[in-house]
């Protein structure tokens, strides 16, 4: 194993120095697998066996096995000796959770070794219920109310668009009338800002009144336009 550290100082020539540290790290135990994972459906049997083999230069015995939580796991330990005379242990871990959900636990192995008095094994599980309704089905059940709200919003947008179209149509009619009056060579009518503002306010009031009437009747929005547009007097 090789690690490196950086040392900083007030030396103007070498403000920082990198120091490498290397060494041999011996393995204390061979544990396979290092993590137990349970993934499946509710009601399925879920069991895993972990092989624990001490290294020859670090022999040990397991004195006690316990779980940090112990709520959804069951475990048992068996000891044996291989043909080459090495001591080995088999830890059986079983899931006991009966409903859908996930959990995490740690199984702690207490040894008689002063080098490593404890070893830890992580246990992770995720159980699903195939009979439970999917998330998509629940959303689909609630979709009608959302669609109704969306429909109301669309009607409001149609009313607003209809009102804007009516207002533009009236302005275009006024512009055509002004051009017609100026087509005989006379000067076109000059726009009166105050009168224009009053006309705009009147048209907006008409549009708002039509939209409110449509909403009260609950009918589909239709285009609303005055039958005739007021004209300016010369």
Tokens of 234: 């010369």
The residues near 41 (Cβ < 8 Å, ≥ 6 apart) are: 127, 128, 129, 130
pLDDT of residue 207: 78
HSE-up of residue 147 (Cα within 13 Å, Cβ side): 6
Q: What is the pLDDT of residues 19-39, one digit of tens each?
A: 888 877 788 999 999 999 999
pLDDT band at 211, cuts 50/70/90?
Answer: confident
Most confident option among 2-11, 72-81, 187-196, 224-233: 72-81
Question: What mean pLDDT is reported for the chain?
Answer: 77
Is residue 128 a contact partner of residue 41, using CB atoms and an 8 Å limit?
Answer: yes
Pick the more confident residue, 4 or 166.
4
Q: What is the pLDDT of residues 136-182, one digit of tens each?
A: 544 444 444 443 334 444 444 444 445 455 555 656 666 665 555 55
Distances (CA, A) of 120 to 67, 87, 109, 110: 9, 19, 6, 9
Q: What is the pLDDT of residues 71-108, one digit of tens each?
A: 999 999 999 998 888 899 999 999 999 999 999 999 99
CA nearest neighbour of 177 among 202, 201, 199, 150: 199
Pick the more confident residue, 212 or 107.
107
Residue 63 above 80 pLDDT? yes
Give the Cα separation of 60 and 111 in Å (integer): 6
Give the Cα separation of 134 and 32 in Å (integer): 36
pLDDT of residue 171: 60
Residue 69 above 50 pLDDT? yes
């Amino acid at each position: 194993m090789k690690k490196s550290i950086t040392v900083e100082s007030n030396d103007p020539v070498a403000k920082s120095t990198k120091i490498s540290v290397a060494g041999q790290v011996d393995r204390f135990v061979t544990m396979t697998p290092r993590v137990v994972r349970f993934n499946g459906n509710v009601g399925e049997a879920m069991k895993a066996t972990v092989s624990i083999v001490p290294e020859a230069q670090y022999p040990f015995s397991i004195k006690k096995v316990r779980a940090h939580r112990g709520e959804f796991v069951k475990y048992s330990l068996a000891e044996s000796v291989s043909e080459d005379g090495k001591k080995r242990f088999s830890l059986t871990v079983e899931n006991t959770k009966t409903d859908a959900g996930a959990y995490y636990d740690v199984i702690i192995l207490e040894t008689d070794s002063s080098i490593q008095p404890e070893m830890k094994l992580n246990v992770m599980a995720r159980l699903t219920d195939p009979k439970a309704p999917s998330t998509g089905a629940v959303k689909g059940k609630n979709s009608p109310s959302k669609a109704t709200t969306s429909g109301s919003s669309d009607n409001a947008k149609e009313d607003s668009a209809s009102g804007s179209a009516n207002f533009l149509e009236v302005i275009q009619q006024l512009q055509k009338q002004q051009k017609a009056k100026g087509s005989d060579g006379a000067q076109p009518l000059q726009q009166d800002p105050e009168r224009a503002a009053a006309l705009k306010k009147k048209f907006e009031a008409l549009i708002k009144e039509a939209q409110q009437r449509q909403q009260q009747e609950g009918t589909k929005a239709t285009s609303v336009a005055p039958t005739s547009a007021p004209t300016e007097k010369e």
